[in-house]
Amino acid sequence: MLSALVIAACTKPIRSTINSIGSTDIVGPAPGFLQNLIPVGWIAQGSIKKGQMSIVKLDGIPALKVVSSSNNLITVKPSQALLLATPYLSWSWNMEPQGEGQHPVKLLVGFKNRKKQQKTWKTNFFISHNLIPNHERMLSFIWGDSALQRGTITKENPKKEGQLNASFTVRGGQENSNSWWFETVDLNDIYQRTWPRDEIDDLHITFIGISTSSSSKPIAGHISGLRLSR
């Protein structure tokens, strides 16, 4: 099932830099985030509480620290990347144990078929400050509560018309928390296995971002080197 999905592990995350055509750093070793602020070019949906996002060094690795709270938060960087041209998403993460259930900190990727887009969408894409970019599908890449869930695809509201969301469990397990792991996922492969009837020739990645679900106590996730490439 995971033949087309590449997932590698190491004790230290690989530094991601823009060193070839067709790759983009979304959150690098020195991300564009300032403490408690959203950088230029990013969109936030929900309020950021003090200390919820900050740049730290963990085991000597510069990373974006994201902490869950009682509120939900989504912050994304808009993109116009063609899926087939840049299908690989890679990053490193170090997650605090969350107990039962999936980790509240997750990665998000939005997709839209340009053949179906409205004429007004291109303009609204860059001026919206309160809503994440227009999308038809969204994949969440999550840290599960068990390592055995790795590679699992779960659809949300599979009978709902129009926009559909799904999640992909990349890694999990209490035994794997508090350690750095490097991941690379094939977005094209996962998308086609999730929505096999969709046309993908003109499918674009409209955003890549990070979200937190509400939690009764603060739980942190550290992310470094978030990168889209071919």
Report which of residues 7 and 24 the model is more confident about.
Answer: 24
Looking at residue 88, its amino acid is: Y
At residue 24, does pLDDT exceed 80?
no
Distance CA 107, CA 190 (A): 14
Closest CA to 136 of 114, 120, 169: 114
44-47: Cβ within 8 A, 24+ apart: 44/73, 44/74, 44/75, 45/73, 45/74, 45/75, 45/130, 45/131, 45/132, 46/71, 46/72, 46/73, 46/74, 47/71, 47/73
- Max Cα-Cα span within the chain: 49
CB contact at 8 A, 142 and 170: yes
Share of the chain above pLDDT 90, in %: 57
Q: Looking at residue 30, what is its pLDDT?
A: 56
Q: Looking at residue 78, what is its pLDDT?
A: 92
Looking at residue 223, its amino acid is: I
At residue 16, does pLDDT exceed 50?
no
Share of the chain above pLDDT 70, in %: 75
Rg (CA), the chain: 17
At residue 129, does pLDDT exceed 90?
no
- pLDDT band at residue 48, thresholds of 50, 70 and 90? confident
